[in-house]
Amino acid sequence: MVIRRVGPLSCAKVAGLLYLIVGFVIGACFSLFAMAGSFAGGADGFFPMFMGAGAIVILPIFYGVFGFIGTLIMASLFNLVVGITGGIEVDAS
């Protein structure tokens, strides 16, 4: 079997959702570290907790959007390059 084309929008939707999930995990870790730092007395208390809680919302959005756009561009470039080179041979047995 030879892969000669991928659907850029289809790939981008899947990758965007995967990056969104990764963004939640990274946002949760960032939030935990920010809140732990504020409870330890490292800073003013309100700002790190606000940034930590914001990370759970902002990071998944950024990861999802940029993952979608990046994958859309790369899948389109993949189709262009595969048209020149002939495709990728895959053995799916």
Place of tokens 């946002």: 27
Cβ neighbors of 25 (< 8 A, separation 6 or more) are none
Place of tokens 């490292």: 42
Percent of the chain with pLDDT over 70: 87
Residue 7 in tokens? 């659907």
Residue 2's beta-bridge partner residues? 89
Residues counted in the chain: 93
Cβ neighbors of 58 (< 8 A, separation 6 or more) are 27
Confidence of residue 25 (pLDDT cuts 50, 70, 90): very high
pLDDT digits (tens, 9 = 90+) for 49-70: 677 778 888 999 999 999 999 9
